[in-house]
């Protein structure tokens, strides 16, 4: 027996409304349930889950410190490479974009939310392009990837 996939993520945040607005703007999530300024539940419009993200207010949450114990990041998958480009632009406009990495099997963007929590937004490449063992790793050139996929290697 093994798990199938991650169903949802819950984050401690300093300001539930601010974080809900951020994740709605960047990832297109909708608030489906709100309990004052204490907690909120958000869902992607294409998700089969009750919620994909839970936000709970923490009075003691400090600014996230890279490398301290705790979860490093959550990865959100988008449907296409062009969606990844759109999300990159939203992240840049909010000064939340950290950079991008080509992992071979994924093309990934990295960003931080208003509390400094890092997250990833990624596009999963077609399975037939994956290699076994160590995947390539390097800087992400989204424009070159778009040209490559448009020239005959269609997105899935």
What pairing do the DSSP bridges indicate for beta strands 9-13 and 53-57?
Answer: parallel
* pLDDT on residue 3: 74
- Res. 63 pLDDT band, cuts 50 70 90: low
Predicted model pTM: 0.85
Reply yes or no on whether the pLDDT at 155 is more than 80: no
Confidence bin at 24 (pLDDT 50/70/90): very high
Average the pLDDT over each of 25-34, 75-84, 110-119, 135-144 and give the range with the smallest value: 135-144
Q: Work out the average pLDDT over 30-35.
A: 96
């Amino acid at each position: 027996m093994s798990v199938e996939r991650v169903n949802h993520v819950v984050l401690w945040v300093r300001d539930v409304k601010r974080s809900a607005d951020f994740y709605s703007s960047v990832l297109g999530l909708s608030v489906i349930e709100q309990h004052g300024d204490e907690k909120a539940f958000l869902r992607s419009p294409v998700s089969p889950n009750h919620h994909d993200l839970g936000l709970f207010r923490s009075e003691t949450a400090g600014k996230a410190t890279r490398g301290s114990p705790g979860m490093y990041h959550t990865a959100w998958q988008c449907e296409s490479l062009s969606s990844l480009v759109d999300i990159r632009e939203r992240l840049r406009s909010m000064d939340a974009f950290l950079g991008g990495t080509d992992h071979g099997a994924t093309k990934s963007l990295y960003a931080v939310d208003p509390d400094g929590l890092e997250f990833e937004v990624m596009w999963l490449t077609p399975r037939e392009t994956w290699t076994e063992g160590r995947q390539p790793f390097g800087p992400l050139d989204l424009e070159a990837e778009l040209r490559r996929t448009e020239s005959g290697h269609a997105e899935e």
